[in-house]
Amino acid sequence: MKKLLLTAAFCSVASLAPAEIIKVASPYSVDETLDRLTGVVEGAGAKVFARVEHAKGAARIGEKLAPEALLIFGKPEVGTPAMQMNPLAGLVLPARVLAYQDADGKVWLAYENPADMLAPFDIPSDAPIVMKLTKVLGALTGKAVAE
């Protein structure tokens, strides 16, 4: 029985395709890009829950990492419908946007395509919540990197 459960669990995880990552180029530094995104998010009435400074964390242990930080934010009116459809959607919500500098020195905002992110929870790509998250994340990131 234990083998059957492990096999079933492995098969269901193995069948999940990786989420498409949407990347938006930024003309600003990682810090300034995230500061701008924070302002845009808060201006839209959403709450910033955390800013995870990956590069600063690496520096604290004597390691180097190019500038990189994650902003976690949300708004109950946006995320709640997904969690009503499947409470496990709370594993990927609230929204997360990564700001990072690549090997060429270019700065990007990156986030998972909401349709791919919510697909493992049987939330269809044409569900209104997916459409709303797609529109909101595109608008917020676009506004944050606008010159």
pLDDT tens series, the chain, 147 aa:
444 444 444 444 444 567 899 999 999 999 999 999 999 999 999 999 999 999 999 999 999 999 999 999 999 999 999 999 999 999 999 999 999 999 999 999 999 999 999 999 999 999 999 999 999 999 999 999 999
Helices (H), the chain: 2-14, 30-43, 54-60, 76-85, 114-118, 128-145
- Please report how the helices 30-43 and 128-145 are oriented relative to each other, as an axis angle in degrees rounded to 10: 130
pTM here? 0.86
- Domains annotated for the chain, with CATH where assigned, are 19-145 (3.30.310.70)
Helix (H, G, I), strand (E, B) or coil at 145: helix
